[in-house]
Amino acid sequence: MNAKKVTSYVIRLILWTLVIAFFFWAISENMFGKIFEEPGKFMELLGRHLELVSISAGLAILTSVPLGILITRPSFRRSEWLIVNIANLGQTIPSLAVLALAMGFLGIGLKAAIVALYIYSLLPILQNTIAGLDSVRPEMKDAAKGMGLTPAQVLFKIELPAAASSIIAGIRTAVVLNIGTAALAYLIGGGGLGVWIFTGIQLFDNQTLISGAVPVTLLAVLVDLLFRGIEYLLVPKGIRLARKSAMESV
Amino acid sequence: MIEFNDVTKIYGGDVKAIDDISMTVEDGEFVILLGPSGCGKTTLLRMVNQLESISQGDIKIQGQNVREMDKIKMRRNTGYVIQSNGLFPNMTIEDNTMIVPDLLGWDRKKKKDRFNYLMDLVGLNPDDYRKRFPHELSGGQQQRVGVARAMAADPPVMLMDEPFGALDPIIREKVQDEFLAIQKEVKKTILFVSHDIDEAVRMGDKIALLRDGKVQQFDRPSELLIRPNNDFVSDFVGKDRVLRSMSLYSVEDLVTTFGLKNKEDTITDTKEISIDTSLRIAISMLLNQEADQLVIVDRQGQAKGSLTFDLIEKFLHQEVKGA
Amino acid sequence: MTDFLNYVQREWGTIFSYTLEHLQLVGIAIVIAILIGVPLGIYLTTNKYLAETILQVASIIITIPSIALFGIMIPVLSMIGQGIGFLPALIALVLYSQLPIIRNTYTAIQNVDPNIRDAAKGIGMTTFQRLTKVEIPNALPLIMAGVRTATVLNIGIGAIAAFIGSGGLGVLINSGISRGNSNMVLAGAVFVSLLALVADFILKFIQARITPKGIK
């Protein structure tokens, strides 16, 4: 074991200690008390939070992945740079602004929140779907075509497996951002765990605040991990090897 | 058999990438499409399996016009190998190789047998490679798999676009030799794109040398080297074309031509040369040698006489130039 | 629509001062983030184990929803009497900026063509000269791209920071919602979006300018 490894372990240890210290402190100060005092309410807020995220992100996946596939077909190629630029531009718009704009047009309520979250999730998925499909080497598609694969077979057997990791990464980014943005949905009457966070801030009630903020954080971090796991399982082994050897050759 | 009848390819209304090409590739013939980059050789190849459309004229495979055939079916019945990395990274070597049989709905047993046969043919152990992925293989191995994949459904015609172009020279020569041995066994009708005159001379039964979309000469390699049609052809094959043509003949050809007989009185201080050696190497050995002759020995080690520059020159005039 | 335009015209001064406040927060945060992230990113290229750890941590931090991070910081920073206001917002923005800045710096320095590095060594440059004359100039465009990502991200999170009293354009959205003034909400949303778009555009322009001609 060399000094560089030791430094890395020490830093890791310090960070873990900080996290554990935080939880130790929070528990000893009964910061999570609210969850145990009102478990029903907690489950309701968590349920609403998950509902907001899954409906909006689910619809966004169902829109963006097929759209990304469509745009990368030869007959739509010319519109691609336009869509990619719109996607880049659209992603600079802050999440709070998207929510505020949705409220401006749709008023307050669950529907406005879902629409805002849906729109906010579209672009990262679309962008990554297009980037993933574009990264498939042309000679690969050429070889497939030359061997007599139909366009649909080229898409499903060659292009989508090669683009899978990029598409899933886009979905992961979108869902994690969505979980955070859903915490703001309270502001436009969407409910969710944001209710406790904002109530806590307004009332200087740390217990309520932490009982909302920590679960949202854990949710985001765990979902991120979950999707990394899915990515590992869904991306074909050969593609992983290909990427590994590409990275080593850099 | 592949027939090209007045085939023309026009891009953007006026640029002729292929200009009125007519030629015939006979069954079992190995034809090289040779030329500098931009001459249209790849375009011509891709017109055969309809990856490029045909602007004018017809291409026929086994008498059938490719334009009238179902593209997908026709491609499945035509082997296609490209320069590099045409293997699909997400599929195992077996899945890669068996993709066309799979599309054709072969049963598992038949696919497995075919895979084993093909791997043996290209010199890879089927069980070692079955479950591996393209990126675990070296460039040479990948290209062997590429050749096996193209032959998977036993297509009568194979189209190869600089298949060995990405390999380093030593491996390339080895793979070329192996492929020639395979071709001797399977006798496919092959169209093979190359920009390398040495590769073309080494491998082709015939060479079609292209420039600006036109065929400059379509001939056997020796003819191309010895009797170039025009300045472009002689420039392309190089100033050392006569020397290059020597690689097409072996010492045995010379022995047969001059009817050299067994000779008992051996000269002891001279090096020996086997009758399998090509004349090009023989010349280089003579140049390397302090002595001005080499002893020709046959496969049994029997001396056949001595090889000198004079003899080679005589052979060149009589056999090659006079033929 | 005319309602909205009238509102903007009437409240122009307020909007402008909130914009300045917003820029101030984001600007200070980015400067601090660069001062931490760029040297750290460069240092990490010498220790890949530590690089892995730090990049992992930074990528976990960036997944934490901003409003939740503010929430977690309030009771912690309350212990030093800074639970809400400018300081927690600044800390959060600096933390969120670390991933794009460190990652891009690290990748950029690592991706400098080994041949160039060899050549620099070969003509007798010291490690420091190599860094300042060869590696950083070649890495600058990618580092700048990281700074741009961080800036755009920070403008968005800065708007959310208004809920913990850091000021800025988020105040318009916050007070607009609580007062039921939709023009105010809209003004906040529109101007914070414009700010992000303009910042993105300007930084992209700078990025293009500082890209050495040879590596465009």
For residue A166, give how far its alpha carbon lies from the nearest alpha carbon of chain B (Å): 14
B81 strand-pairing partners:
B160
Same domain, A26 and A131: no
Let me know the angle formed at the C-alpha of B316 by B312 and B318, rounded to the nearest 5 degrees.
115
The two structure tokens encoding residue A114: 């879902």
Mean local confidence (pLDDT), C85-106: 93
Kindly state whether residues A212 and A110 are assigned to the same domain.
Answer: yes
Q: What is the pLDDT of residue A247?
A: 63
Q: Which residues contact A193 (CB under 8 A, 6 or more apart)?
A: A45, A46, A49, A183, A212, A215, A216, A219
Please give the structure tokens belonging to residue C214. Answer: 């040879």
Q: Report the sign of the C-alpha dihedral through residues A64, A67, A69, A72, in that order.
A: negative
Mean pLDDT, rounded, for B166-177: 85
Domains contained in chain A, number: 2
Structure token digits, residue B144: 């062997």
Residues A15 and A75 in one domain: no
pLDDT, tens digit (0-9, with 9 covering 90-100), for B174-183: 888 889 999 9
Residue A135 touches chain B, beta carbons under 8 Å: no
What secondary structure letter does DSSP report for B278?
A: B
What are the tokens at C204?
Answer: 């992209």
Q: Which of residues 127-156 of C touch A (CB under 8 A)?
A: 152, 155-156
Please give the Cα distance from C174 to C184 (Å, whole number): 9
Indicate whether this complex's ipTM tops 0.95.
no
Model confidence at A237: pLDDT above 90: no
Asked if A208 and A230 sit in the same domain, the reply is yes
pLDDT classification of B110: cutoffs 50, 70, 90: very high
Evaluate if residue B323 carries a pLDDT over 50. no
pLDDT of residue B85: 62
Strands B56-61 and B64-65: antiparallel
Give pLDDT, residue B267.
Answer: 59
Q: Determine the structural domain holding residue A21 and report its residue range.
A: 1-30
User: Quick one: tokens of B254?
Assistant: 């010379």
pLDDT at residue B318 above 80? Answer: no
**What mean pLDDT do residues B16-21 have?**
91
- The partner residue sitting opposite B80, judged by closest CB among A143, A161, A244, is A143
Name the average pLDDT for chain B.
87
- Counting as contact any 3 or more CB pairs under 8 A, the partners of C are A
Q: Indicate whether this model's pTM tops 0.90.
A: no
Other beta carbons within 10 Å of A8: 18
Percentage of chain B exceeding pLDDT 90: 46
A75-103 in b/e form (b: 16+ CB < 10 A) is eeeeeeeebbeebeebbbbbbbbbbbbbb
A64 or B253, higher pLDDT: A64
**pLDDT given for residue A120 in this prediction:** 92
Residues of chain B above pLDDT 70, percent: 95
Rounded Cα distance between B149 and B86, Å, is 10
A14 and A62 both lie in a single domain: no
A21 with A70, same domain: the answer is no
**Both A20 and A88 in a single domain?**
no
| Domain boundaries defined on chain C | 2-215
Q: Is C2-215 CATH 1.10.3720.10?
A: yes
> Any idea which residue has 């912690």 for tokens?
C76
* Cα→Cα distances A200→A38, A88, A186, C68, Å: 15, 35, 13, 11
pLDDT at B258: 82
Residues A7 and A127 in one domain: no
pLDDT for C38-60, tens place per residue? Answer: 999 999 988 888 999 999 999 99
What would the pLDDT profile of A188-232 be if each residue is shown by its tens digit?
888 899 999 999 998 888 899 999 999 999 999 999 999 999 988
Q: Is C40 on the interface with A (CB under 8 A)?
A: no
Indicate if A7 and A102 belong to the same structural domain.
Answer: no
| Per-residue 3-state assignment (H helix, E strand, C coil) for chain A | CCHHHHHHHHHHHHHHHHHHHHHHHHHHCCCCHHHHHCHHHHHHHHHHHHHHHHHHHHHHHHHHHHHHHHHCCHHHHHHHHHHHHHHHHHCCCCHHHHHHHHHHHHCCCHHHHHHHHHHHHHHHHHHHHHHHHHCCCHHHHHHHHHCCCCHHHHHHHHHHHHHHHHHHHHHHHHHHHHHHHHCCHHHHCCCCCHHHHHHHHHHCCHHHHHHHHHHHHHHHHHHHHHHHHHHHHHCCHHHHHHHHHHHHCC
B/A touch flag: 3 or more CB pairs below 8 Å: yes
Beta bridge partners of B210: B215
Residue A30 touches partner C, C-beta closer than 8 Å: no
Nearest to C212 by CA among C76, C116, C100: C116
Residues of C in contact with A188 (CB under 8 A): 177
CA distance A21 to chain C (A): 11
Tell me what pLDDT residue B322 has: 47
> Quick one: tokens of B43?
């375009």
Q: What is the pLDDT of residue B268?
A: 61
Is C52 touching A (CB cutoff 8 A)?
A: yes
Q: Is residue A54 located within the same domain as residue A116?
A: yes
Mean pLDDT of chain C: 89
Q: Kindly state the helix (H) or strand (E) to which residue C145 belongs, with its residue range.
A: helix C136-161
Q: Check CB contact under 8 Å for B80 and A241.
A: no
For position B321, what pLDDT does the model report? 57
Which of B81, B88, B141, B154 to mutate against chain A (most A CBs within 10 Å)? Answer: B88
What pLDDT shows up at residue C178?
85
Burial class (CB in 10 A: 0-12, 13-18, 19+), A143: buried
* β-sheet bridge partners, residue C49: none
Clarify whether residues A10 and A121 are in a common domain. Answer: no
Please tell me whether residue B125 adopts helix, strand or coil conformation: coil
pLDDT tens, A109-165?
899 999 999 999 999 999 999 999 998 888 899 999 999 999 999 999 999 999 999
pLDDT at A127: 93
Give the contacts of C149 (CB within 8 A, at least 6 positions apart). Answer: C100, C104
All partners of chain B with 3 or more CB pairs under 8 angstroms: A
In this structure, are residues B272 and B297 in contact, taking their beta carbons and an 8 Å threshold? yes
What confidence score (pLDDT) does residue B307 get? 85
| Banded pLDDT at C216 (limits 50, 70, 90) | low
Share of chain A above pLDDT 70, in %: 98
Amino acid at residue number A80:
E
Q: Which chain A residues touch C81 with a CB distance below 8 Å?
A: none
Task: Indicate the residue type of C83.
Answer: G
pLDDT above 90: residue A5? no
- Give the pLDDT of residue C151: 96
User: What are the structure tokens assigned to B29, written together?
Assistant: 């013939």
Q: Do A93 and C155 touch (CB under 8 A)?
A: no
Would you call B211 helix, strand, or coil by DSSP?
strand
Cβ contacts (< 8 Å) between B84 and chain A: which residues? 139
Q: Terminal CA-to-CA distance of chain C, rounded, Å?
A: 43
Asked if A145's CB is within 8 angstroms of B99's CB, the reply is: no
**Domain annotation for chain B: domains and CATH numbers:** 2-239 (3.40.50.300), 249-321 (3.90.1280.20)
Q: What is the pLDDT of residue A44?
A: 92
Closest Cα in chain A, distance from residue B136 (Å): 8
Instruction: Find the mean pLDDT for residues B57-77.
Output: 92
Residue A250 has pLDDT above 90, yes or no: no
Alpha carbon separation from A92 to A249, C68, C106, C150 (Å, rounded): 33, 21, 24, 11
Across B194-224, b (16+ Cβ under 10 Å) vs e yields: bbbbebbbbbbebbbbbbebbbbbbbebebb
Chains A & C: contacts with CB separation below 8 Å? 145
* Residue A179 near chain C (CB below 8 Å): yes
In a shared domain, residues A21 and A145: no
Q: What is the mean pLDDT of chain A?
A: 90
Note whether A169 and A178 are within 8 A (CB).
Answer: no
For residue C68, the chain A residues in CB contact (below 8 A) are 180, 183, 197, 212-214, 216-217, 220
Is residue B288 scored above 50 in pLDDT? yes
Query: What does the pLDDT look like over C156-191, one tens digit per residue?
Result: 999 999 999 888 999 999 999 888 888 899 999 999
Residue A60 has pLDDT above 90, yes or no: yes
For residues B279 and B253, what is the distance between their CA atoms, to the nearest angstrom?
A: 9
